[in-house]
Structure 1
Amino acid sequence: MTMTIDAAGGALMASPAEGAAIVTRGLTKRFRGGQLAVDQLDLTVPRGAVFGFLGPNGSGKTTTIRMLLGLVAPTAGTSSILGSGSPRQALTKVGALVEGPAFYPYLSGAANLRRFDAADPSADPRTVERRVAEALDRVGLAAAAKKRYRAYSLGMRQRLAIAATLLGPRELLVLDEPTNGLDPQGTREVRNLIKDVAAGGTTVFVSSHLLAEVEQMCTHIGVMRTGRLVAEGPLAELRSANVPRIRVETPDVAQAAAVLATLGLTDVSPGSGELSAELGHALPEHVTAALVREGVAVRGIHVVRPTLEDLFVDLTGEGFDVEA
Structure 2
Amino acid sequence: MSDMPGDTGLLAGRRGERSGAPRDAGPAPEECSIVTRGLTKRFRGGQVAVDALDLAVPGGSVFGFLGPNGSGKTTTIRMLLGLVTPTAGTWELLGRPMPDGMTAVLPRVGAVVEGPAFYPYLTGEANLRRYDAADPAADPRTATARIGHALERVGLTAAAGKRYRAYSLGMRQRLAIAAALLGPRELLVLDEPTNGLDPQGTREVRALVREIAAEGTTVFVSSHLLAEVEQMCSHVAVMRTGRLVAQGTIAGLLARETVRIRVETPDVAGAAAVLAAAGLTGIRAGDGEADAELGAEEPERICAALVAAGVAVRGLGVRRPSLEDVFVGLTGEGFDVDG
> TM > 0.5 between the two?
yes
1:68 and 2:83 aligned: no
Instruction: Describe the superposition over 1:180-217 as per-residue Cα deviations: whole angstroms up to 9, x where unpaired.
Output: 34443433332222122112211000112343332222
2:188 is the counterpart of 1:146 = no
> Can you give the 5+ residue segments of structure 2 that lack an aligned partner in the other structure?
1-27
Give per-residue Cα distances to partners, 1:153-174, cap 9 Å, x unaligned.
3332212111111111000000
> In the aligned structure 2, how far is the partner of 1:152 from the partner of 1:291?
57
Greater shift, 93-102 or 212-221, is seen at: 212-221
Stretches (4+) displaced over 4 A: none
Partner of 2:42: 30
Cα displacement (A) at 1:270: 2.0
The equivalent position to 2:274 in structure 1, one of 259, 267, 281, is: 259
The 2-side partners of 1:207 and 1:61 are apart by 7
Matches of 1:117 and 1:316, distance apart in 2: 43
SS at match of 2:229: helix
Cα distance in 2, alignment partners of residues 127 and 182 from structure 1:
33
Instruction: Look up the SS of the partner of 2:90 in the other structure.
Output: strand
* 95, 110, 128: which one aligns with 2:110: 95
**Counterpart Cα distance in 2 of 1:322 and 1:245:** 22
2:206 is aligned with 1:206: no
**1:37-92 deviations in Å (ceiling 9; x for gaps):** 11111110000111111112222111111111111111111111111222523211
Deviations 1:228-250 (A, max 9, x none): 11111111111122111100011
- What is the aligned-residue RMSD (CA, Å)? 2.1
Equivalenced residue count is 308
**In the alignment, which residue of structure 2 is the partner of 1:9?**
none
Letter aligned with residue 61 of structure 1: K
**Structure 1 pair 73–201 and aligned structure 2 pair: CA distance change class (3 A):** same
Give the Å deviation of 1:322: 7.3
Q: Percent of pairs identical after alignment? A: 74
Q: Contact conserved, 1:155 with 1:181, CA < 8 A, in 2? A: no
Please give the secondary structure, in 2, of the residue aligned with 1:33.
Answer: helix
1:58 is aligned, of 48, 51, 70, to 70
Secondary structure of the residue aligned to 2:45 is: coil
Could you tell me which residue of structure 2 aligns to residue 230 of structure 1?
245
- Give the superposition deviation at 1:122: 2.0
Report SS of the residue matched to 1:113: helix
**CA–CA distance in 1 between the matches of 2:308 and 2:52?**
55
CA contact (8 A) 1:92 1:120 kept: no
Distance 2:224 2:337 in 1: 5
| 1:222 aligned partner, one-letter code | A
Instruction: Work out which structure has the larger RCO, using CA pairs closer than 8 Å and 6 or more positions apart in sequence.
Output: 2
Q: Is the 8 A contact 1:158 1:181 kept in 2?
A: no
Aligned to 2:293: 278
Native 8 Å contact 1:243 1:305 kept in 2: yes
Quote the Cα distance in structure 2 between the aligned partners of 1:132 and 1:46: 29
Q: Contact 1:56 / 1:322 at 8 angstroms: preserved in 2?
A: no
> What is the DSSP-based 3-state SS (H/G/I as helix, E as strand, rest coil) of the residue aligned with 1:128?
helix
Identify which range, 198-207 or 98-107, moves more after superposition: 98-107
Q: Post-superposition shift, 1:318?
A: 3.5
1:17 is displaced (CA, Å) by 4.4
Do the aligned residues in 2 keep the contact of 1:56 with 1:318 (CA within 8 Å)? Answer: no
Q: Aligned equivalents of 1:116 and 1:316: distance in 2?
A: 41
Distance 1:150 1:42 in 2: 41
Counterpart for residue 58 of structure 2: 46
CA distance in 1, matches of 2:107, 2:57: 19
Q: Distance in 2 between matches of 1:141 and 1:285?
A: 48
- Which secondary structure does the structure 1 equivalent of 2:46 belong to? coil
Stretch deviating more after TM superposition (209-218 or 167-176): 209-218
Give the alignment's TM-score, normalised by structure 1. Answer: 0.88
TM-score, with structure 2 as normaliser:
0.84
